[in-house]
Structure 1
């Protein structure tokens, strides 16, 4: 059960809905009805309210309904539970030869919100106010809580044969017999905690697997070629902000680049 703890003395905050184009309003009606049908949201009369908006889905195309929760996040007590560094997660994979990956289906939406906190999640739209009955994207403590929950579920398996990053689960083993037992344990844990996977995004018994932007195999952890393509196709930066954005992206792969700091120094000096 997830909760939203507020800074002492906080009064409800409310913002008017953002304007949307006609095609967005049509899509808004569709997605509101879908979430109502799934039991994720319900109509609300709460004094709280943050505006809804759409963002483009990078991998699938289309629009994702989101909420600009910045007003609520500003008065929320922050959860400091750490998210792991992705490159450190892979330090445990030495000797692994068989892999499976499991992606939870709408992971956040599988977490219910404490009843007294539901009115705080209200979002405003052209068609009225709605509140979430499950944990929503955009809420400041959602990633930290989800990471805490997943680590709690797999605490006995972490760094032995399981890697977890939010709703992505990797199972790794030295041979197929060992992998069969590892899979059985992980699936039993998911069933016990009533966590559901999206089968179309799962893959089992692999010698090589793409996971968190890397290709994993017994040979090591090279970079996913599709991610390298993003760097190669990056538009030439023309401002300090654009240079910093590129360096942040390239820096993610510094472990694969010898003398990265020396190579990047000409660009780094332009940001000072």
Structure 2
């Protein structure tokens, strides 16, 4: 039985479960801001709504908060590093905080892309797998 195996593994790792926080035999569940279904993993609609409603950051601390939230969803945003670069640049110590049209465009594009995020399918070892890598002057990805 799969549940018994999981309980044994958790016990051996000296981890405990609270039964009232456990779900068994469900087709989907929310976990750490993500929705996990039989189709794959997707963004939590409530978190996406919070990102969409986020006001323009007016200082470094507010920008760090926005980046911290959206960073949890970077795997859903194609070209995340490129999209976010103008915002990351504002966090550099050698730059003053000056919100320009470039930052506004990046802010809006990040929000737009999170609303069209794909469902990330579970890996199927029976199907062919391709790993793509890329690099630029400011980021690498795989």
SS in 1 for 2:42: coil
Tell me the equivalent position of 2:137: none
Name the structure 1 match of 2:35.
215
Q: Aligned partners of 1:194, 1:264: CA distance in 2, in Å?
A: 40
Q: What is the alpha-carbon distance in structure 2 between the residues aligned to residue 225 and residue 216 of structure 1?
A: 12
- Alignment correspondent of 2:73: 253
What TM-score results when the alignment is normalised by the length of structure 1?
0.30
Count of residues in Structure 1 that have an aligned counterpart in Structure 2:
92
Residue 237 in structure 1 maps to residue 53 in structure 2 = no
1:254 Cα offset (Å) = 1.1
Judging by fraction of residues, say which structure has more helix: 2
- Secondary structure of 1:204's aligned partner: coil
**Structure 2 unaligned regions, length at least 5:** 93-142
Alignment of 1:159-238 (within 5 A): 181-189=1-9, 196-238=16-58
Q: Distance in 1 between matches of 2:4 and 2:41?
A: 25
Unaligned runs of 5+ in 1: 1-180
CA RMSD of aligned residues (A): 2.5
Which consecutive segments of 4 or more residues in structure 1 shift more than 6 A?
191-194
Between the aligned partners of 1:185 and 1:254, the Cα distance in structure 2 is 32
Superposition deviation, residue 191 in structure 1: 6.2
Question: Would the alpha carbon gap of residues 190 and 253 (structure 1) be closer, same or farther in structure 2, given more than 3 Å must change?
Answer: closer
Q: CA deviation at 1:205?
A: 0.8
Higher strand share: 1
Distance 1:241 1:191 in 2: 41
**Cα offset, 1:202, TM superposition:** 1.0
